[in-house]
Amino acid sequence: MNLIEKILANHSKVDTVRPGQIIDVEIDARVARDFGGANVVKNLIENGLEPDDVSKTFFTFDCNPGGSDQKYAANQHFCRQYAREKGIRVYDINAGIGTHLAIDNGLIRPGGTFVSTDSHANIMGAIGAFGQGMGDQDIAAVWASGKSWFKVPKSVKMILIGKLPENISAKDIVLNLLERFGANSLLGKAVEMYGPVVDALTLDERITISSMGTEMGAIIVLFTPTPDIAAELEKRSGKKVRVITADEDAEYEQVIEVDVSKFRPMVAKPGHPHDDIDIQAVKGTKIDSAFIGSCTNGRMEDLRIAAGILKGRKVAPGVVLKIVPTTDNIWKKALDEGLIKIFKEAGALVSNAGCAGCAAGQVGQNGPNEITVSTGNRNFAGKQGKGSVYLASPAVVAASAVAGIITTPDDLPAEAAQFSALGIRLGEVKPKSKPAAVPVEFSGKVWIIPMDNIDTDMIFHNRYLTITNINEMGQYTFDNLAGYEHFAKEARPGDIVMTGKNFGAGSSRQQAVDCFKSLGIPLILAESFGAIYERNAINAAMPILTYHPGLIDELEIKNGDRITVNLENGLIRNEENGKTGQIEPFSDVQMDIYKRGGLLNQ
């Protein structure tokens, strides 16, 4: 077996697994964050469920450390009260990013399994462990049972060959990979990384690359720990590490060699992490702000690189540089090494550990028309504010903050560029009623949205994440998707959505599914779905089905036509002309969950 198959088999009741097989997997560490935690607790209470094993169950308050938003503060307090009652450990607002805490504190070790309401839980691939981001219902089910169903993914073996240029960072590696593979060519795959270049990567560098596996559409990007990394993990956590490796005769869907000698320093242009370009093409672009942090680039090595550039220099006049370490221990180490002093003397704002602007909390957000260069993992429209965000390495961000323009450390101008002339409270949780019989066939007017990679910020923007009442969600559906801002007002109950590849890319937010249920949209058809979105929809009993490319043309379906779709047999019919076709029907698991009215209904 390959690496992901071994890990999943070791945590199931079967000796071997194969791609496409659906199995129950025991979960070693189960985490809910501050924005998803309140809904996890609501789901448990509503369904009369209790945590299975509190020693493996955790809250991490990393999205808005400080509770600067009233609804975040209310959600955090609600979770704290539940944690006190059940004896659950809380990594509170002073601790840092949950995924990093899990690695550094040994909550998860190589070969282990980890789930979180964080869509970047697959960062665990950096230590050869399985991590999966999940929605609120999924996490509640894992808390209650200690396990979750998984479809074993297909695996790709990626071998990095060639000599890595000296000016190429781990962030540049992943941006170059994103340029080549885009957001969906590795969709739903487990990617194993090999080669001499990989062997030489540090733990922090592996974390950077694994963190952005989500942006490539991959289930996970896995590294096998070297003896040095295994020793480092043991030293950090004080726990013994046992490394799991793929068999020599392991099978892969594809083996890909990538020549890193051709890699260039890159930036991701505003809007999409996979829209990458050589930094030379945007050099000289005037910036308003800069951000160093997030689960991708807030580690000690990142901070040391930034400090080396900022030492003895000042942030450009009018530019704001925000620096947020990933964990409190890293913050303290940066203080001990004098890095915090360097940052402050350079004029940077240094905040307590956490996700920062990436999760719409704490610091890091930008305003309308503001241009930011950031080390974050995502730059979806509206994700880090209302401005434009370029993604780059810590070295590029630090150099750009000093220069006032996007640049590289080896090309700092003598003088900085100048600006030209020109500001829940949760109610009582009550059990919900059991569902009635559900239909297996739907007819309705179709909305054809001919786009690929529609991400969760386009579907349901992160500024609404604190909404827990499903009746309030529908009004915000697609209000961040250009051309469809009025969808919620114009759509009618019974309408069907039909769209392209990788629908629901990005975040683990359940609201991006529930907003359609709120509007009475009974069915979404797409060529493919983001991995977490697919799980969330299935678990929420929201019908979704995939269709093959060319089907719309084959059936001559036009926007506004009435179509009929059968969930059991996958038959689709254009009622306007009588033409029929075949799409992928419900799986047994999907049908079972759908008829029960959701994952948590017994």
Is residue 215 packed enough to be buried (19+ CB in 10 Å), middle (13-18) or exposed (0-12)? buried
Residues whose CB falls within 8 Å of the CB of residue 209, separated by 6 or more in sequence, listed in order: 126, 170, 173, 174, 177, 193, 201, 221, 223
Does pLDDT of 19 surpass 70?
A: yes
Q: List C-alpha distances in Å: 133 to 117, 119, 299, 531.
A: 5, 4, 21, 9
Residues whose CB falls within 8 Å of the CB of residue 351, separated by 6 or more in sequence, listed in order: 65, 322, 323, 324, 362, 363
Q: In 3D, which of 105, 160, 103, 107 has the Cα closest to residue 127?
A: 103
pLDDT value of position 465: 85
CATH H-level, domain 3-262: superfamily: Aconitase, domain 3 (3.30.499.10)
CA atoms of 202 and 208, how far apart (whole Å): 10
DSSP secondary structure of 273-340: TT-EEEGGGTTT-B-SEEEE-TTTS-SHHHHHHHHHHHTT--PPTT-EEEE--SBHHHHHHHHHTTHH
CATH H-level, domain 266-411: superfamily: Aconitase, domain 3 (3.30.499.10)
E strands in 424-522: 441-449, 496-499
Does pLDDT of 70 surpass 90?
A: no
32: Cα separation from own chain's centroid: 14
286, β-bridge pairs? 405
Does pLDDT of 306 surpass 80?
A: yes
pLDDT digit string, tens, across residues 400-442: 999 999 999 999 999 999 988 653 334 456 666 666 789 999 9
Mean pLDDT of the 531-541 span? 96
Q: How confident is the model at residue 484 (pLDDT cuts 50, 70, 90)?
A: very high
Token readout for 36 is 């998803």
Q: In 3D, which of 362, 382, 369 has the Cα closest to residue 462?
A: 382
Does pLDDT of 279 surpass 80?
A: yes
pTM (two decimals): 0.84
Write out the residue limits of the CATH 3.20.19.10 domain(s) in the chain: 441-596
C-alpha dihedral sign at 73, 76, 80, 82: positive
Token readout for 581 is 């076709």
Q: Using an 8 Å Cβ cutoff, are 26 and 113 in contact?
A: yes
Q: Between these two residues, 571 and 383, which has the higher pLDDT value?
A: 571
Task: Write down the number of H helices and E strands in the chain.
Answer: 19, 25
Q: How confident is the model at residue 384 (pLDDT cuts 50, 70, 90)?
A: confident
Is residue 181 packed enough to be buried (19+ CB in 10 Å), middle (13-18) or exposed (0-12)? buried
Q: Say how many CA atoms lie within 13 Å of 262 toward its Cβ.
A: 8
Q: Hey, what amino acid is at 422?
A: L
DSSP 421: P
Counting residues of the chain whose pLDDT is more than 90, the rounded percentage is 85
pLDDT value of position 361: 59
pLDDT digit string, tens, across residues 176-208: 999 999 989 999 999 999 999 999 999 999 999
pLDDT value of position 522: 97
Q: Using an 8 Å Cβ cutoff, are 350 and 380 in contact?
A: no
What is the average pLDDT score of the chain?
Answer: 93
E strands in 42-181: 57-60, 89-91, 113-116, 130-133, 147-151, 155-161
Q: In 3D, which of 60, 185, 184, 179 has the Cα closest to residue 118?
A: 60
Q: Using an 8 Å Cβ cutoff, are 433 and 598 in contact?
A: no
Decide the pairing of beta strands 113-116 and 289-292. unpaired
pLDDT digit string, tens, across residues 142-172: 999 999 999 999 999 999 999 999 999 999 9
Rg of the chain taking only CA atoms, in angstroms: 23
Q: Using an 8 Å Cβ cutoff, are 41 and 78 in contact?
A: yes
Q: In 3D, which of 598, 588, 566 has the Cα closest to residue 439?
A: 566
Write out the residue limits of the CATH 3.30.499.10 domain(s) in the chain: 3-262, 266-411
Q: In 3D, which of 545, 484, 540 has the Cα closest to residue 512?
A: 540
Mean pLDDT of the 465-470 span? 87
CATH H-level, domain 441-596: superfamily: Aconitase, domain 4 (3.20.19.10)
Does pLDDT of 453 surpass 60?
A: yes
Token readout for 228 is 């040095």
